[in-house]
Amino acid sequence: AQSVTQLDSHVSVSEGTPVLLRCNYSSSYSPSLFWYVQHPNKGLQLLLKYTSAATLVKGINGFEAEFKKSETSFHLTKPSAHMSDAAEYFCVVSDENTGGFKTIFGAGTRLFVKA
Amino acid sequence: SQTIHQWPATLVQPVGSPLSLECTVEGTSNPNLYWYRQAAGRGLQLLFYSVGIGQISSEVPQNLSASRPQDRQFILSSKKLLLSDSGFYLCAWNGQPSTEAFFGQGTRLTVV
């Protein structure tokens, strides 16, 4: 069975410092992994996705994530946080299962950016 | 291009009343369809998903049910709402495991 765990419910960083949002997953097959961002009172926006190509994936707004199969992780990083990065971030796994596939979201990590 | 419609946007219903939320997708065929509930600190909880007409998988036991009477129509229902059914419900679709999920605008349901 597939699942996704976001290890931190809240992360707080200072503007200009690195961001690390952690995600672990479990999957019986070869999953596709995504990160979405949701700004307050806005819809969900795709940041990046991994689909069995390069393990280091670059996304929008300077974010990137590395797929590590041995660690079953897909952590999201950014070298330098900006105030506009304050939002909620969701790690997502999409995987084949009996009769089809399904897409599961993590519980989310709220990122706070301090001036 | 593909679009997804979800309605109503907001709904206030008394306890014990029925519920029907509807979602339709345009511009694609045989999509995977989903109903999620979003709650603070719990992310998007997958309630139901469907890989085809009449094929519904339930992820969590609850007071709700889902149906897919047509390829691009997904309905979330309840015969008798509970206070705990209040929340923000999102319909979504994707075409393949490797593709982005697209969301409706959501329905804010308040059970009073």
For residues A23-34, average pLDDT: 89
Nearest-angstrom CA–CA distance, B44 and A20: 21
**Predicted confidence band at B15 (pLDDT cuts at 50, 70, 90)?**
very high
Task: Report the candidate in A21, A39, A42 with the shortest Cα–Cα distance to residue A92.
Answer: A21
Q: Give residue B59's pLDDT.
A: 87
Nearest-angstrom CA–CA distance, B13 and A30: 42
Quick check: helix, strand or coil at residue A83? Answer: helix
Nearest-angstrom CA–CA distance, B36 and B93: 11
Question: Do the Cβ atoms of B41 and A107 come within 8 Å?
Answer: yes
Measured between CA atoms, how close is A79 to chain B, in angstroms?
25
Nearest-angstrom CA–CA distance, B78 and B76: 7
A12 contact B CB<8A? no
Quick check: helix, strand or coil at residue A80? Answer: coil
**Residue A70 Cα to chain centre, angstroms:** 17
B3 contact A CB<8A? no
For residues B46-59, average pLDDT: 93
For residue A96, pLDDT over 90 is answered with no
**Predicted confidence band at A48 (pLDDT cuts at 50, 70, 90)?**
very high
Nearest-angstrom CA–CA distance, A62 and B97: 24
Q: Give residue A41's pLDDT.
A: 81
For residue B31, pLDDT over 80 is answered with yes
In A1-115, which ranges are continuous DSSP H helix?
none
For residue A14, pLDDT over 90 is answered with yes
Q: What is the pLDDT of residues A69-88, one digit of tens each?
A: 999 999 999 999 999 999 99
Enumerate residues 6+ apart whose C-beta is below 8 A from A25: A2, A3, A4, A5, A31, A33, A72, A73, A74, A91, A93
Nearest-angstrom CA–CA distance, B11 and B19: 9
Compare all CA atoms of chain A with the CA of B93 and give the residue at the minimum distance: A103
Q: Give residue A40's pLDDT.
A: 86
Compare all CA atoms of chain B with the CA of A52 and give the residue at the minimum distance: B98
Which of B32, B46, B98 is the closest to A100 by Cβ? B32
Q: Are A102 and A9 in contact, with CB atoms under 8 Å apart?
A: no
Q: Which residue has the higher pLDDT, B111 or A53?
A: B111
For residues A100-112, average pLDDT: 92
Q: Give residue A15's pLDDT.
A: 97
Q: What are the distances in angstroms from CA B72 to CA A72, A95, B9? A: 34, 21, 19
For residue A97, pLDDT over 80 is answered with no
For residue A51, pLDDT over 90 is answered with no
Q: Give residue A53's pLDDT.
A: 77
